Amino acid sequence: MGSLKLQNIHKSFGDVEVLKGIDLDVEDGEFVIFVGPSGCGKSTLLRVIAGLEDATSGAVEIDGKAVNHLPPSKRGIAMVFQTYALYPHLTVRKNMSLGIKQAGLPATDVARRVDMASKMLSLDDYLERHPAELSGGQRQRVAIGRAVVRDPELFLFDEPLSNLDAALRVNTRLEIARLHRELGATMIYVTHDQVEAMTLADKIVVLNAGSVEQIGSPMELYNKPANLFVAGFIGSPQMNFIDAARLDDTDARTIGIRPEHISVDAAKGDWAGTVTHAEHLGADTMLYIDTEKVGQIAVRLFGQHSYDDDDRIFATPDKNWIYRFDSKGRTMEAT
| pLDDT digit string, tens, across residues 281-302 | 999 999 999 999 999 999 999 9
Digit-coded pLDDT (tens) for 235-273: 988 999 999 999 999 999 999 999 999 999 999 999 999
CA distances from 243 to 275, 321, 324 (A): 20, 16, 10
Query: Of 37-41, 81-85, 148-152, which range is least confident?
Result: 81-85
Using DSSP's 3-state secondary structure scheme, residue 312 falls into: strand
Residue 12 confidence (pLDDT) above 70: yes
3-state SS assignment for residue 119 = helix
Give SS3 for 4: strand
Residue 335 confidence (pLDDT) above 60: no
DSSP-assigned letter for residue 282: S
CB 207: neighbour CB atoms within 10 A?
A: 25
Q: How far apart are CA 231 and CA 257, in angstroms?
A: 9
| DSSP class of 331 | B
Of residues 50, 44, 69, 6, the one with CA closest to residue 155:
50
Compute φ and ψ for 80, nearest 5 degrees: -115, 120
Q: Is the model's pLDDT at 194 over the cut of 90?
A: no
* pLDDT reported for residue 71: 93
Map out the domains of the chain with their CATH numbers. Answer: 4-230 (3.40.50.300), 237-325 (2.40.50.140)
Across the strands, what pairs with 243?
254
Report the pLDDT averaged over residues 62-79: 93
Query: Who contacts 139 (Cβ-Cβ below 8 Å, separation ≥6)?
Result: 84, 86, 131
Closest CA to 36 of 174, 189, 261, 177: 189
Closest CA to 24 of 51, 59, 70, 74: 59
Q: pLDDT at position 1, please?
A: 64
pLDDT above 90 covers a percentage of the chain that reads 82
Instruction: Compute the distance between CA of residue 248 and CA of residue 158 in angstroms, rounded to an integer.
Output: 45
Rounded to an integer, what distance in angstroms lies between the CA atom of residue 289 and that of residue 43? 37
What are 57-70's pLDDT values in tens digits? 999 999 999 999 99
User: Does the pLDDT value for residue 77 go beyond 70?
Assistant: yes
Which residue pairs from 105-110 have beta carbons closer than 8 angstroms and sit at least 24 positions apart in sequence? Answer: 110/149
- Band of the pLDDT at 85, cuts 50, 70, 90? confident
109, 110, 192 from 103: Cα distances, Å: 12, 10, 34
* pLDDT tens digits along 14-70: 999 999 999 999 999 999 999 999 999 999 999 999 999 999 999 999 999 999 999
C-alpha 241/C-alpha 250 separation (Å) is 16
> Cα–Cα distance between 208 and 241 in angstroms, integer?
19
